[in-house]
Amino acid sequence: MERTIADQLLARQGDRKAGLRTRERTWSWDEVVQESAARAAIAREFRADGPFHIGVLLENVPEHIFWLGGAALAGATIAGINPTHRGADLEAQVRHVDCQLIITDRTGWDRLAGLDIGVPPERFLLVDEPGYGELVTAHAEPPHAHDGVDESALFLLLFTSGTTGTSKAARCTQGRLTRLGYATGEKYGVTADDVCYCCMPLFHGNALMALWAPALAAGCTVCLTPKFSASRFIDDVRYFGITYFTYVGKSIAYLLATPERDDDGDNTLTHAFGTEASPEDQAEFARRFDCVLQEGYGSSEGSGHVRNDPDAPPDSLGKPSSEAVAVVDPDTLGTCPPARLDEYGRLRNPGEAIGEIVDKAAAARFEGYYKNETADAQRVRNGWYWTGDLGYLDERGFLYFAGRQGDWIRVDGENFSALLVERVLRRHPDVVLAAAFAVPDPRTGDRAMAAVELRGGAEFDPAEFAGFLTAQPDLGTKAVPRFLRVSTGLPTTGSDKLRKNVLRERAWRCADPVYWWTGRGGPDYRLMSDEDKSALEAEFAAHGRQRVLPADS
């Protein structure tokens, strides 16, 4: 068993099996290794003093794969740049990771133009410019690992999604990614016979840790699409003969929002891995596309906290991998009591059962964030590794995901999980996506707010929606959103997750229509007017409370 990504690549020399495919071309694994070796030689030529970091700003194109391989052989570190970021945020992130070289295309060049990222123009390589092909050809060399390539070599700087707070650059060494590739492949059944569809962005851990690394370990085929497309998905599956793919919950919701066809189940899919698809969406996807979605738990910072169990309830993640994995109250450090579930599997005691998922034995395995000691300290406290995720354990010991650390909502002294509210909202037949979050009350505490994205052509009926919420037996009165933003396109990260931090900051000060109710009686939504918003802002000012950000520009 190889110990580094470089070793795994070199083991594929001479392998004539398809290693990489697009609709335009196929590369054997041997050709992938040769292409990677040329990029390694280019990287070594451009190397300067300081951290050997290479920024990659590309969609899911072959060059992205070749530069991953090139960095592994050269002993360099890839910092995947999120193409959805802009302006000062993009400038700060790229500058933070100390890149010596930027690999991009003309679109990326234009996006970075005028930003002070600390990289001079002569250290940009544009893969779609004349002369790039000749540069690659001139650096062809026998594949080999350069000096300093071992398990401890820093290979990836992965920007976290930033859904509930500021994005951070998580460190991942070649050794950790190699072990993850083997472990994930075994856990989710990725074998040499699979054909893997890489539709999640390659700058993010989902595609790298759950698809590319397992595919490299198994020696199966990786098929690229520039970006996820719900309308193109099933056609690509049939074209390539896809058996395995990775996802996030939003992508599954968009797939299920496409018009159903009689032949949806006529495809080659067998299994998929991802996170945060609702139990209802998992069941519907299996029915419609005849493919099992395997929900897992992990992050760019760490994984291995949960193991599969054939007896796990459909909405459970499985069982903790060891007794060291627990759900604790972050204030008392005590273990949370077991969850009480009704006959439908709905949580009846969220206030006491939900806590933060910790691994008391994983602190030494955490590789940390790049130049962020404060964030490191938040992850390792009391000698434990704190995942930053909420969860609960049932009486049989099965673990359930309950959202991110920032997903607690506290109304009138009652705590509840935003994720559980979102699952209720997603039951409505017209809702594709939903986010729940806390916004400040003008006087004290918080109020619950939600944002929903509707299916194309759907009309929002506030009275009907209020009636739907009232009919949900597992939605407590405190958890019913006071404010409801209705949208046809909510803001997302580059990894297709809803940007809750942006939604929370903007709250009702947005271009989308927002409905609200006073909280007396049952929900009775009416459209907020500009006068309503001004009156609410005045109430904040009168009580000296900090309000949300100004309206969207």
Q: What is the CATH number of the domain that holds 502?
A: 3.30.300.30
User: Both 403 and 423 in a single domain?
Assistant: no
Domain count, the chain: 3
pLDDT of residue 12: 98
Asked which of 180, 198, 227 is the last residue of a domain, the reply is 227
CATH at residue 385: 2.30.38.10
Q: What angle do CA 106, 107, 109 make, to 5 degrees?
A: 60
CATH at residue 177: 3.40.50.980
Is position 370 within any domain? yes
Is position 383 within any domain? yes
> Which of helix, strand or coil describes residue 312?
coil
pLDDT of residue 444: 65
| Helices 29-46 & 62-74 angle (0-180, nearest 10) | 60
Asked which of 177, 202, 227 is the last residue of a domain, the reply is 227
User: Both 422 and 503 in a single domain?
Assistant: yes
pLDDT of residue 412: 74
Is position 152 within any domain? yes
Is position 281 within any domain? no
525's tokens: 């939504």
- What separation, in Å, do the N-terminal and C-terminal C-alpha atoms of the chain show? 54
What pTM value is reported for the model?
0.84
Supply the DSSP symbol for 454.
E
* 149-153, 286-290, 535-539: range with lowest mean pLDDT: 535-539
User: Both 451 and 378 in a single domain?
Assistant: no
Quick: pLDDT tens for 301-327. Answer: 776 788 888 888 878 888 998 999 999
User: Both 525 and 460 in a single domain?
Assistant: yes
pLDDT of residue 552: 40
CA torsion through residues 306, 310, 315, 316, sign:
negative
Asked which of 377, 407, 437 is the last residue of a domain, the reply is 407
Beta carbons of 32 and 99 less than 8 angstroms apart: no
Is position 348 within any domain? yes
User: Both 373 and 451 in a single domain?
Assistant: no
User: Both 371 and 519 in a single domain?
Assistant: no
Polymer length of the chain: 553
User: Both 488 and 398 in a single domain?
Assistant: no
Residue 416's CB: how many other CB atoms inside 10 A? 24
Beta carbons of 317 and 295 less than 8 angstroms apart: yes
Quick: pLDDT tens for 477-503. Answer: 888 999 999 999 998 877 777 888 889
104's tokens: 């991009």
Quick: pLDDT tens for 443-481. Answer: 667 889 999 999 988 999 999 999 999 999 888 888 899
Is position 296 within any domain? no
- Taking 80 as the threshold, does the pLDDT of residue 414 lie above it? no
Is position 94 within any domain? yes
Residue 111: which domain range?
Answer: 5-227
263's tokens: 């032949």
In the chain, count of helices (H) and strands (E)?
18, 27
- Taking 80 as the threshold, does the pLDDT of residue 544 lie above it? no
CA distance 241 to 487: 35
User: Both 218 and 156 in a single domain?
Assistant: yes
Among 417, 400, 401, 419, smallest CA distance to 409 is for 417
* 255-269, 397-411, 478-492: range with lowest mean pLDDT: 397-411
User: Both 347 and 332 in a single domain?
Assistant: yes
User: Both 389 and 502 in a single domain?
Assistant: no
User: Both 161 and 35 in a single domain?
Assistant: yes
User: Both 435 and 381 in a single domain?
Assistant: no
- Taking 60 as the threshold, does the pLDDT of residue 374 lie above it? yes
Is position 233 within any domain? no
